[in-house]
A and B are shown apart, each in its own frame.
Chain A
Amino acid sequence: MPNSSNDIAFDVIANRQILVVDDVKLLRDLITSILRQAGFTNIEHAENGQEAMLKVTANPPDIIILDLMMPIMDGMEVCRLVREIEDTAAIPIIVQTAMHDNEERLKAFAAGASDLVTKPVNALELVIRTKLHLKNLILTENREKYRARVADELATAKDVQQNILPSPQNLREIRAQTGLNISSVCQPSSELGGDFWGANVLENSSIGFYVTDFSGHGVVSALNTIRLHTLLFNVGEAWQKPDQLLSDINQNLCDMLPTGQYATMIIGLISPEDNTLSYAGAAAPPPIYGIWEKPEEFTYLDTTGLPLGVSKVATYDLQTVPFTENHFLFSFSDALIETKLNDGTFLEGEELINLVKNLTRSKANSQLLDQLIASFFENGGNDLRDDLTAICFDYL
């Protein structure tokens, strides 16, 4: 992509439409002949401001060369109108003014002129300025095309990323096979992010799951999520040992990632048969865990651990807690606790536990996740800097 107007060849601009507006036929013809001699091929005319505006709105030109003093509608008015209409606001306008009339020159700029040429017209100056503005127009168009293409590709990438998340169908199957209910919310931020999660049913009807978040934002994090997803794909019964699986992933990520890029993660194993939850954490936001009927015992699970990809000597401990039909586990990405709410506070620590208590009131609540996220958004959480993922595991 050319970076400067000097890089743009003349033939790219030769047939761009130039609208010459002047009430004196002799001058219109003179300007036209200068431009034709310079190689421009697409020149239109208007005899006054009104005719110019009709042409501009019907078929916007690429540049306007405009006289100021004209009957019916003058050049200043044309400048103002062209700038007011969204579709024409960016059209370069070169105004012809007398060199000595400083006040008029300033007024022309104030009305919206892009540039001025002296009157009587100097052929060389007119050609140079016309070329310059048309080349700048091409540069702007190229940049806009590039921006649109990148935006489109990022949106597609976002879709790819969303597609690696468990589908509602996956979750229904898990429930049918194991009785475990998994509800989830994934609210992408404007950018690509590094959040994702997954769950698998194992041979003994246990459920292995993970919730992870890559450091940083944007394309690098998004690409890393795909790497990590590949590491976790089809690991089969390795889910049975969350601590070992976490260690293995850490080893792999240490080899793959440059210093400074890492992932936080929790890997868990829920066994409906043993009524247990085993898990290992690598600096993932601690999830909330409890028995619906015992709000006083709601607590954060310990997910302290070196993030994945930082050190090969890191070890991860396995912890096991009861997980019966009366338990729930609420896991989330850091966007939930790191987003500043309207009142300047964060939904973290005791605040978050208290919100869960208020939404459950010592009773099981199958809508906990939706209600909690709704409350978060109502209180200003919609200004997300990062993707928000929240997942609730229960037997409701």
Chain B
Amino acid sequence: MDYSFKPDGTVLKCVMTGEFTFTDHPTFRNMIDDAVKTGTRSIQLDLQDVEYIDSAGLGMFLVANERAGEEGWKFSISNPREKVQKMFTLAKLETIVTITNA
């Protein structure tokens, strides 16, 4: 997984690309750390270019979501592709994390 930051108004978008799996754990943690350090109150993961997420990837979203609650910033996910959206739907992720298509 690769990523880049794209500020969008008050939201800091993290545009992720490639596959997001078990081995991306350190990369993802660094990404969230760096995003939080910018001082933004809202972090959105853009999944437009993410082809595949495994179960560990979904787990990392849950961890980030919990951290957002503890630290008082807003966590959301946007633009999942069909295959990724299917996985989110099966796991009812939208009941835990805000998922938008914008």
Contacts and interface: CB of A to CB of B under 8 A. Distances in A.
A215 B92 contact: no
A304 B92 contact: yes
A289 interface: no
Interface in A215-268: 215-218, 259-262, 264
Given A216-B22, A216-B59, A310-B96, A264 B91 contact: yes
A260 B54 CA distance: 12
Interface residues of A, number: 27
A215 B58 contact: yes
B60 A260 contact: yes
A259 B92 contact: no
A280 to B, nearest CB: 13
Contacts, number: 57
A234 to B, nearest CB: 28
A338 B90 contact: no
A215 B52 contact: no
B43 to A, nearest CB: 17
B34 interface: no
A220 to B, nearest CB: 10
A75 interface: no
B62 A310 contact: yes
Given A283-B91, A304-B89, A264 B55 contact: yes
A217 B91 contact: no
A338 B54 contact: yes
Interface string A293-337: 000000000011111001100100000000000000000001000
B96 A311 contact: yes
B90 A286 contact: yes
A215 B90 contact: no
A145 B62 CA distance: 38
A306 to B, nearest CB: 5
Contacts of B60: 260
B37 to A, nearest CB: 21
B95 interface: yes
A260 B59 contact: yes
A283 B90 CA distance: 5
User: On chain B, which size bracket covers the interface?
Assistant: 10 to 19
Contact of B55 (A213, A311, A314): A213
Contacts of A285: 90
A350 B52 CA distance: 19
A283 B91 CA distance: 5
Contact of B56 (A215, A286, A305): A215
Contacts of A310: 62, 96
B62 A262 contact: yes
A307 B91 CA distance: 6
A195 to B, nearest CB: 11
A261 B22 contact: no
Contacts of B22: 216-218
Looking at B54, B89, B90, B95, the one whose CB has the most chain A CB atoms below 10 A away is B90
Interface in B31-68: 52, 54-56, 58-60, 62-63, 66
B67 to A, nearest CB: 9
A259 B55 contact: no
B91 A260 contact: no
A311 B93 CA distance: 11
Contacts of A218: 22
Contact of B62 (A217, A260, A264, A283): A260
B96 A215 contact: no
Contacts of B96: 306, 310-311
A204 B95 CA distance: 37
B68 to A, nearest CB: 12
Nearest to A284: B90
Top 5 closest pairs, chain A to chain B, by CB: A260-B59, A215-B55, A260-B63, A283-B91, A216-B56
29 contacts: A214-B55, A216-B56, A216-B59, A217-B56, A259-B59, A259-B66, A260-B59, A260-B60, A260-B63, A262-B58, A262-B62, A264-B91, A283-B90, A283-B91, A285-B90, A303-B90, A304-B89, A304-B90, A304-B91, A305-B91, A305-B92, A306-B91, A306-B92, A306-B95, A306-B96, A307-B91, A310-B62, A338-B54, A386-B54
